[in-house]
Amino acid sequence: MRLKEKVALITGAGQGIGREIALSFAREGADLAICDINLEQAGQTKKEVEALGRTALDLKVDVTNYAEVEEGVNKILDKFKRIDILVNNAGITKDSLILRLSEADWDAVLNVNLKGAFNTIKAVSRVMLKQRSGKIINIASIIGIIGNPGQANYAASKAGIIALTKTTAKELASRNINVNAVAPGFIQTAMTEKLPEELKAKMLSNIPLGRFGTVQDVAKTCIYLASEDSSYITGQTIVVDGGMVML
């Protein structure tokens, strides 16, 4: 029980990696604020968390909208009185080569993946500053480190997340708030399911550990970063990719 009685806010927790982080945190004793743009999916995760014996609140929060984020944070405080852990997980892709990449698709990806994290950090850090403690985990991607043809918007947003992580870590360190990023490689979720089989086979051949990642692989790293086991780590990006990228 490494997160006993901690309160965690997770964005995009209605499915995929965010859902698994919520369930893993619940198994470690945390109560959960399940935020997602899709309230029905958030409600599903809430039920699963409750089945594990923990308390959960499901909220419709579009992370691109600061007013909605702030309203969500206030509802979480009404119910739980504190927020110990924030996981910025909500993310989207809209892939295209730069020459064909529309301004709308550039803006959409940057707004969810980067501005969304800024919005939640801004709203939650005021709470953590008062508490004089907190853990912030931003879900980046190896694409933000190495780039990828057809993903200029996604790569820029994830590189931005890594820089945002370092700056936030420096700003909040004196108040006992750790801020780190997790950069997954290829993880089996709805986001990667839509990729062509040929591309998946090529990617698999580049993974030294010889398998795609699971949502549990990412969630386990998040438990570590959310727990006291990582209390002397801040501003870092942990790559979870089976060895694809070695820095």
Q: Which residues are catalytic?
A: 154
Distance of CA 107 to the CA centre of its chain: 19
**160 part of the interface to ligand NAP, by CB under 6 A:** no
- Edge-to-edge strand order for the sheet containing 177-184? 56-60, 31-36, 7-11, 85-88, 134-139, 177-184, 237-240
- Quick note: the x/- pattern for ligand NAP over 106-145, rule CB under 6 A, is ------x---x----------------------x-x----
Choosing from 39, 52, 77, 92, the residue that interacts with ligand NAP (CB under 6 A) is 92
For the bound state, the minimum distance from the C-beta of residue 182 to ligand NAP, rounded and expressed in Å, comes to 8
Which residue from 40, 31, 145, 37 is spatially nearest to 83, judged by alpha carbons? 31
**C-alpha–C-alpha distance, residues 73 and 121, integer Å:** 11
The number of residues that bind ligand NAP (CB under 6 A) is: 30
**187 part of the interface to ligand NAP, by CB under 6 A:** yes
**15 part of the interface to ligand NAP, by CB under 6 A:** yes
Choosing from 191, 207, 233, 245, the residue that interacts with ligand NAP (CB under 6 A) is 191
Choosing from 5, 38, 98, 130, the residue that interacts with ligand NAP (CB under 6 A) is 38
Q: Residue 188 class from Cβ within 10 Å (0-12 exposed, 13-18 middle, 19+ buried)? A: middle
58-66, 70-78, 102-110, 197-205 -> range binding ligand NAP (CB under 6 A): 58-66
**C-alpha–C-alpha distance, residues 25 and 85, integer Å:** 10
Dihedral angle at the C-alpha atoms of 75, 226, 66, 112, nearest 10 degrees? -130
Residues near ligand NAP, by CB under 6 A? 11-12, 14-18, 36-38, 41, 61-64, 89-92, 112, 116, 139, 141, 184, 186-187, 189-192
